[in-house]
């Protein structure tokens, strides 16, 4: 075990008033920028359904399985290989056309560079029209991590997922790629309940590349998992560490870290009552306000979390709050 017991002046080390002030300011800045971004999204009518269409004389769109204001994701049949694939079709019209093209280019570049069983594979890419690029990816047959964010107990599979998630993100960091939008909805459990079950990370549209500018006022992820520096347009490997730690906290407690009234060290300890002190200390540094105060190696923090959780708990089981 590495030493994770020091609280080096980060957010957790501050008093509860400072934490509440920071959170209030963060939410205000976040939603101001987010609403400005969302207001430019195309209408639902513009993102028309395409069930039954055939792309590139090969991919038959069978069902919509996800999507948002700027893209839809479909389950499709690849007639060339007779297997199911996932196809993400982006919308690049309007004022945000350039931004959406950058997202397409970033996601394509990231998936072309990362080869890891914990990252969704890129199989093909193309354009339906000048306004509609698409990505063909491996189809993940399993649920999102979000479904398990309020489990009644910490299971062996949950510990394994933490290790797998840390390993997948570490591979991206090794080659200079940051995810920057890590959240339970972007983590899927392939072959859930089967021997080959494993975590797979998806949606690299906000990824930062080693040869590209890592700042962007438009790349605001999901607030409950957003590192403080992202609101200021900065990101580092420890930005993903923050989101990873927030997800781990939610898995352990059943509540989102961002929802705590008191995010100070004492508040964190109260939320994690019943868990070992070394686990609380590890989560505390992972959630530090300053990116420099967080562990730099996401694989090691995942391994340490898994190691601590794999030990028998002393005393009564931890109290878990209601759903987030």
Comparing CA positions, the residue from 215, 220, 207 lying closest to residue 33 is 220
Sign of CA dihedral 155, 156, 160, 163: positive
Tell me which of 181, 203, 293, 304 is the catalytic residue.
181
The rounded distance, in Å, linking the Cα atoms of 287 and 226 is 10
Q: Check if 293 is active-site.
A: no
3-class SS at 106? helix
Question: Within the chain, what is the greatest distance between any pair of CA atoms?
Answer: 62
The DSSP annotation for 266-306 comes to HHHHHHTTTS-HHHHHHHHHHT-SSGGGS-S-HHHHHHHHH
**24 phi and psi, to 5 degrees?**
-60, -45
Tokens coding 129: 């029209």
Give me the active site residues, please: 181
């Amino acid at each position: 075990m590495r030493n994770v017991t020091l609280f080096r002046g980060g957010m957790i080390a501050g008093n509860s008033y400072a934490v509440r002030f920071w959170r209030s300011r963060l939410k205000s800045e976040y939603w101001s920028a987010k609403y400005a971004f969302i207001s430019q999204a195309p209408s639902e009518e513009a993102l028309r359904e395409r069930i039954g269409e055939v792309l590139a004389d090969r991919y038959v769109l069978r069902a919509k399985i996800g999507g948002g204001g700027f893209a839809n994701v479909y389950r499709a049949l690849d007639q060339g290989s007779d297997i199911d694939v996932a196809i993400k079709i982006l919308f690049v019209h309007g004022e945000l056309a350039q931004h959406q093209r950058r997202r397409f280019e970033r996601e394509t570049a990231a998936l072309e560079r990362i080869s890891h069983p914990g990252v969704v594979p890129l199989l093909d890419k193309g354009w339906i029209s000048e306004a509609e690029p698409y990505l063909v990816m491996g189809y993940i047959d399993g649920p999102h991590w979000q479904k398990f964010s309020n489990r009644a107990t910490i299971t062996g599979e949950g510990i394994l997922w933490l290790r797998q998630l840390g390993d997948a993100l570490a591979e991206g960091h090794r080659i200079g790629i940051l995810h920057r939008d890590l959240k339970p909805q972007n983590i899927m459990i392939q072959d859930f309940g089967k021997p080959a079950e494993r975590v797979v990370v998806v949606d690299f549209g906000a990824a930062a590349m080693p040869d590209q500018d890592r700042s962007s006022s438009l790349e605001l992820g999901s607030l409950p998992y957003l590192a403080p520096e992202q609101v200021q347009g900065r990101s580092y490997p420890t930005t993903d560490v923050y989101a990873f730690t927030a997800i781990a906290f939610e898995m352990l407690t059943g509540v989102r870290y961002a929802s705590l009234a008191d995010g100070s060290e004492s508040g964190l300890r109260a939320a994690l009552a019943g868990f070992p002190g070394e686990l609380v200390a590890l989560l505390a540094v992972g959630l530090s306000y300053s990116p420099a105060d967080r562990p730099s190696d996401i694989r090691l923090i995942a391994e340490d979390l898994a190691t601590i959780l794999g030990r028998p708990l002393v005393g009564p089981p931890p109290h878990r709050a209601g759903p987030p």
